Amino acid sequence: MRSETTILQRVDAGLPLHDHRWQAPMGDGQWPQAAVLVALTDEAEPKVLLGRRAMHLHNHPGEIAFAGGKRELVDISPWQTAQREAMEEVGLPEALIQPLGEFEPLITRTGFEVYPCVASIPPDPTLVVDTAEFESVFFAPLAAFADASIYRLETMSDGRVARKVPHYQLGDDNVWGVTAAILVMLANVAYDAGLDLQRNWEQAP
């Protein structure tokens, strides 16, 4: 039985909020750095903002992802990167973004160190999608990602190393990789979903 604590309060209480500055100068880190905005609608049953990446993009074309992107020289922190990218890609103004917390950075298969920044936004915000980045955007119920029946760890190999990679089957969409991993961690914090997440997939080939 669910307590009186709201889902967003659970997320807020369960995640640290450091808002630290980028540590290494650009080009000096082991991996190129990026940040994503994990935007949750502020309502009893929150929804999470996701989008389908444009097919012409070099990295992860057509995949389901969060708004976000690479760190730029003007960015002071991962939060600033995530907020700037959210404004550029989906027209979400910084004034509507209320930080809740952060997950530790993850490494994508394409070799990016990605910082997930979790925030609340108003329900049904007006979005302006940059079609150069996203083919479309949508809101999915956060509770869906606590459903073990649509979740699996699938063994994938690059020909050298085999890894267990997280996947969700969300209707006709296969949500996987770092995006799926963030959703697993979020479902575990918000709903005590108890989903298994093996971490060896995080290391890029």
Average pLDDT for consecutive 10-residue bins of the chain (205 residues)? 74 91 71 94 97 79 90 94 97 97 89 94 95 93 97 81 87 93 97 83 42
Q: What is the pLDDT at residue 120?
A: 98
Predicted TM-score (pTM) of this structure? 0.90
Q: What is the pLDDT at residue 45?
A: 96
Q: What is the pLDDT at residue 60?
A: 67
Domains of the chain with CATH codes: 7-21+30-149 (3.90.79.10)
- Whether the CA torsion 104, 47, 76, 96 is positive or negative: it is negative
Rounded Cα–Cα distance for residues 181 and 98 (Å): 22
- Whether the CA torsion 144, 49, 199, 169 is positive or negative: it is positive
Give 120-176 as a 3 state SS string. EECCCCCCCCCCCCEEEEEEEEHHHHHCHHHEEEEEEECCCCEEEEEEEEECCEEEE
Q: What is the pLDDT at residue 29?
A: 57
Strands (E), 3-95: 33-41, 47-53, 64-65, 67-70
Q: What is the pLDDT at residue 108?
A: 84
